[in-house]
């Protein structure tokens, strides 16, 4: 009897399920989000170095508000609250890095609630949103609190930090024609949104993301290629301009946007070809806004515009099946 019970206990329990019976555990949605957080480390460190307490404060405000927003909205939808997928963390950090350090605390809080609430939850949560949530939040405060967000709001001459006493490179050029040195744009000791100042940090993090295949290389490649082309044309048309192709590439939030914002998988197309077209479109809109609009920078609007076009791009780029005529 005892033996029989033992036998039953040790007998294998066999389940059936449809194939495939193996699945790759190397890459999960959660791991993708963690990858983005890892890739953002150099950018966060640069921001902390350049902007000190301004950066720390903004990051803290955005992370805390995004978590709070996620918790409240998930409760309202009576879904289990979970930060396990790290998507709120990613939104919070990217949002914070896209804001100027000098923006008052309520700007970060409101941007976070808009990002999570209107950017994500209202569409049905992770994976359902059409627009990049962080950019939705930023666009809202950019319009609602123009003075705190516009170029003048970036400056704080009372601050002890050197960078913040300057105008942003993009703005300085747009308003007064002063060109910032390429090395400053590359390493980052300039004014601007927290995450955008150092091209170097963005490239390091971005390459990591592309190498991990968490971000699709087609998107940043498309963005950079089209900016090079359009900035090149602008330069040819207006050769005396001091703002060269390299200034366009390294200045403003172009690289931050290309590597971290445009590559959000949810709001970008599905196929490699679609992703490339998406990147090219973003680059084109950025250059259009930079050259012809009143704004010194255009990354945010360019990404949001192309987000809106993503379903259409998906329709245009249904791949040709093997053997299809």
Residues found near other proteins in the complex (CB under 8 A): 10-25, 27-29, 31-32, 85, 125-128, 216, 265-266, 268-272, 275, 314, 318-325
Buried b (16+ CB within 10 A) or exposed e, 71-91: eebbeeeeeeeeeebbbbbbb
In three-state secondary structure terms, 137 is helix
| Least distance in angstroms from the C-beta of 267 to other proteins | 8
- Smallest gap, in angstroms, from Cβ of residue 271 to other proteins? 5
Task: Give the nearer residue to other proteins in terms of CB position, either 102 or 267.
Answer: 267
Nearest to 188 by CA among 47, 24, 32: 47
Contacts of 105 (CB under 8 A, 6+ apart): 57, 61
Nearest to 57 by CA among 161, 209, 200, 169: 161
> Is 30 or 242 the residue whose CB approaches other proteins more closely?
30
Structure tokens at 324: 């299809």
Pair of tokens at residue 49: 């170095």
Min CB(274)–other proteins separation in Å: 8
* Comparison of 153 and 265: residue with beta carbon closer to other proteins: 265
- Secondary structure letter of residue 165 according to DSSP: G
Q: How far is the CB of 213 from other proteins (least distance, A)?
A: 8
Work out how close the CB of 120 gets to other proteins at its nearest, in angstroms, rounded to a whole number.
Answer: 11
Nearer to other proteins, 46 or 263 (CB): 263
- Residues forming beta bridges with residue 193, ordered by sequence position: 100
Q: Let me know: does 266 contact 212? Beta carbons within 8 Å.
A: no
Least Å from the CB of residue 214 to other proteins? 8
**Residue 182 CB neighbours (<10 A):** 15
- The full length of the chain comes to 325
Cβ distance to other proteins smaller for residue 9 or 176: 9
Distance CA 116, CA 271 (A): 26
Which CB atom, from 174 or from 275, has the smaller least distance to other proteins? 275
**Nearest distance from residue 204's CB to other proteins, in Å?**
22
DSSP-derived secondary structure letter, 295:
S
Residue 116 or 141 having the CB closest to other proteins = 116
Six-digit token string for 58: 């903004």
């Amino acid at each position: 009897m005892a033996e029989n019970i033992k036998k039953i206990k040790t007998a294998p329990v066999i389940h059936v399920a449809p194939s495939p019976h193996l699945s790759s555990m190397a890459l999960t949605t959660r791991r993708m989000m963690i990858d983005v957080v890892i890739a953002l480390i150099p950018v966060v460190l640069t921001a902390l170095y350049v902007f000190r307490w301004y950066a720390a404060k903004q990051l803290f405000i955005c992370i805390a508000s995004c978590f709070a927003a996620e918790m409240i909205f998930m409760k309202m939808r009576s879904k289990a609250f979970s930060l396990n997928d790290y998507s709120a963390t990613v939104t919070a950090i990217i949002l914070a890095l896209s804001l100027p350090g000098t923006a008052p605390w309520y700007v970060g809080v409101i941007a976070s609630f808009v990002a999570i609430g209107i950017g994500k939850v209202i569409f049905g949560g992770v994976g359902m949103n059409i627009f990049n949530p962080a950019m939705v939040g930023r666009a809202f405060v950019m319009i609602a609190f123009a003075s705190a967000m516009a170029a003048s709001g970036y400056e704080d001459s009372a601050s002890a930090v050197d960078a913040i006493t300057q105008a942003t490179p993009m703005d300085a050029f747009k308003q007064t024609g002063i060109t910032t040195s390429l090395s400053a744009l590359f390493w980052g000791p300039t004014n601007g949104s927290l995450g955008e100042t150092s091209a170097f940090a963005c490239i390091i993090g971005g390459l990591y993301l592309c190498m991990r295949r968490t971000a699709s290389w087609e998107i940043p490649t498309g963005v950079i290629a089209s900016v090079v082309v359009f900035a090149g044309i602008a330069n040819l048309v207006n050769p005396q301009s001091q703002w060269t192709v390299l200034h366009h590439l390294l200045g403003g939030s172009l690289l931050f946007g290309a590597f971290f914002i445009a590559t959000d998988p949810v709001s970008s197309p599905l196929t490699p070809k679609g992703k490339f077209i998406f990147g090219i479109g973003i680059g084109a809109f950025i250059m259009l806004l930079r050259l012809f609009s009143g704004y010194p920078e255009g990354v945010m609007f360019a990404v949001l515009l192309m987000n809106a076009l993503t379903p259409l791009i998906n329709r245009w780029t249904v791949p040709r099946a093997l053997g299809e005529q």
